[in-house]
């Protein structure tokens, strides 16, 4: 019987293992963590966003420059496949008002339990064997085979041969959950092309930092019902409404995450980047100027902004933070700032704070089945591949889909071996 090692017990690795065990292959899953699916479970704490219900063409566009590669993978397993898979495990899903897809009970744990039960009781062959606290550290010392792996285990070093290997090691974010990017130099040493890991869906530090007053009084507070706009050095435009959060050092949150790849890449290219913040996207520039210019009598400027424009709290505070006293009392400059306040950013937050990462194993270094050209019999899946996507179910769908795709690729490889 053929034996496959899967390294990484996240969504991509588990999906590959699931596809293989259902085909009657003996599968051993190894992971450095004490239990499986730790990042998957954390993602489900606020409600597990499985996928998105938007049309396939728009869905594929979310993967940017890697759209073609992900579309090929989605032919094996797509967003509809995610919902069918969950239903097959006894978990019903629903589409939220935003188009995002969730389990009815919003929880990750019941889905994971049902999934693991299926792998441990496949019914048509050996169960998946799980080896926790087994840290992959490279290849067997005295073997020329790319499918013999070395692990550090609680019982000491162990070398394990296999007929094929699936690496699903994650990116570089959330190291405490197992994704630390330690695999990058090991694959590069074997001649595998790997793009540097970069933070994605991440926060940023503002240029020069916030004042101590703003950071202490408004750090952690949200900007609601705003819009941001920017044009990158390459001429790519971005405009979107939503909300984000001020942090002690800068900004983060859904609206920032949506633009994070553009912000990050411009900082890499130019050292800093500026986006325009519209504090009143429902109001025209002419209306704002008229309201700001309205005589305020004996009222303070803060009272005037609150009563005429409903600007107070963090929205008023950011104006005081970034404008001079002269600009605040010049109606034209103040109105212009309310509609397009420049926010300058100097750095992305550290990669371990990011929701996900960009970079990883280049698709050009793999076959269409995601087998490494430099290491026959070794396949890669999940976030360790060179793609990125926004939040909203796109990250998890691509991880699950690449795992399913690799599972089919390994089966083809074993049949031809």
List the structure tokens of 313: 């709290």
> For residue range 190-236, what is the model confidence (pLDDT) as tens digits?
999 999 999 999 999 999 999 999 999 999 999 999 999 999 999 99
List the structure tokens of 19: 């596809």
Of the pLDDT bands very low, low, confident and very high (cuts 50, 70, 90), residue 43 is: confident
Of the pLDDT bands very low, low, confident and very high (cuts 50, 70, 90), residue 417 is: confident
Q: For the chain, which residues make up each domain, given as ranges?
A: 3-199+354-416, 204-348
Of the pLDDT bands very low, low, confident and very high (cuts 50, 70, 90), residue 54 is: very high
Tell how strand 3-7 and strand 26-31 pair up.
parallel
Give the pLDDT confidence score for residue 108 in this predicted structure.
95
| DSSP 8-state code for residue 385 | B
> Which strands make up the sheet holding 93-95, listed edge to edge?
51-52, 100-103, 93-95
30 in the Ramachandran plot: left (φ > 0), alpha (ψ -120 to 50) or beta? Answer: beta
Q: Single out the residue of 269, 270, 287 nearest to residue 278, CA to CA.
A: 287
Per DSSP, what are the bridge partners of residue 195?
360
Of the pLDDT bands very low, low, confident and very high (cuts 50, 70, 90), residue 179 is: confident
Superfamily grouping for domain 3-199+354-416: FAD/NAD(P)-binding domain (3.50.50.60)
The answer to whether residue 178 scores a pLDDT higher than 90 is no
DSSP letters for 227-255: EEEEE-TT--EEEEEEEEEE-SSEEESHH
Long-range contacts of 41-48 (CB under 8 A, 24+ apart): 41/108, 41/109, 41/112, 42/174, 42/177, 43/108, 43/396, 44/106, 44/107, 44/108, 44/109, 44/111, 45/108, 47/102, 47/106, 48/102, 48/103, 48/106, 48/107, 48/108, 48/111
């Amino acid at each position: 019987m053929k034996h496959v090692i899967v390294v990484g017990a996240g969504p991509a690795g588990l999906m590959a293992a699931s596809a293989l065990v259902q085909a009657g292959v003996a599968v051993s899953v190894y992971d450095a963590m004490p239990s499986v699916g730790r990042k998957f479970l954390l993602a489900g704490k606020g409600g597990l966003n499985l996928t998105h219900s938007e049309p396939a063409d728009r869905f594929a566009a979310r993967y940017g420059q890697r759209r073609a590669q992900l579309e090929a993978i989605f032919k094996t397993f797509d967003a509809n496949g995610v919902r069918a898979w969950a239903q097959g495990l006894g978990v019903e899903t629903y589409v939220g008002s935003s188009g995002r897809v969730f389990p009815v009970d919003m929880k990750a744990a019941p889905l994971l339990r049902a999934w693991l039960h299926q792998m441990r009781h496949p019914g048509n062959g050996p169960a998946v064997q799980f080896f926790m606290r087994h840290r992959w550290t490279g290849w067997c010392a005295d073997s020329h085979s790319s499918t013999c792996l070395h692990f550090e285990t609680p019982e000491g070093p162990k070398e394990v041969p296999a007929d094929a290997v699936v690496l699903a090691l994650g990116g570089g974010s959330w190291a405490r959950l197992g994704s630390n990017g330690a695999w990058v130099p090991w694959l590069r040493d074997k001649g595998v092309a790997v793009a540097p890991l970069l933070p994605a869906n991440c926060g940023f530090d503002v240029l020069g930092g916030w004042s101590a007053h703003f950071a202490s009084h408004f750090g952690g507070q949200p900007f609601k019902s705003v819009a941001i706009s920017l044009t990158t050095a390459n001429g790519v435009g971005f405009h979107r409404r939503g909300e984000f959060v001020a942090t002690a050092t800068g900004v983060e949150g859904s609206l920032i995450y949506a633009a994070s790849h553009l912000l990050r890449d411009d900082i890499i290219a130019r050292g800093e980047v500026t986006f325009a913040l519209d504090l009143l996207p429902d109001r025209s520039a002419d209306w704002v100027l008229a309201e700001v210019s309205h005589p305020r009598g004996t009222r303070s400027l803060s009272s005037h902004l609150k009563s005429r424009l409903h600007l107070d709290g963090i929205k008023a505070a950011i104006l005081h933070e970034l404008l001079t006293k002269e600009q605040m009392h010049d109606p034209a400059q103040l109105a212009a700032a309310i509609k397009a306040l420049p926010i300058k950013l100097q750095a992305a937050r550290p990669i371990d704070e990011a929701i996900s990462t960009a970079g990883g194993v280049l698709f050009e270094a793999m076959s269409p089945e995601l087998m490494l050209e430099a290491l026959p019999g070794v396949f890669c899946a999940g976030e360790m591949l060179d793609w990125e996507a926004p939040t909203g179910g796109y990250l998890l769908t691509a991880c699950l889909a690449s795992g399913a795709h690799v599972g089919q690729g390994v089966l083809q490889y074993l049949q031809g071996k």
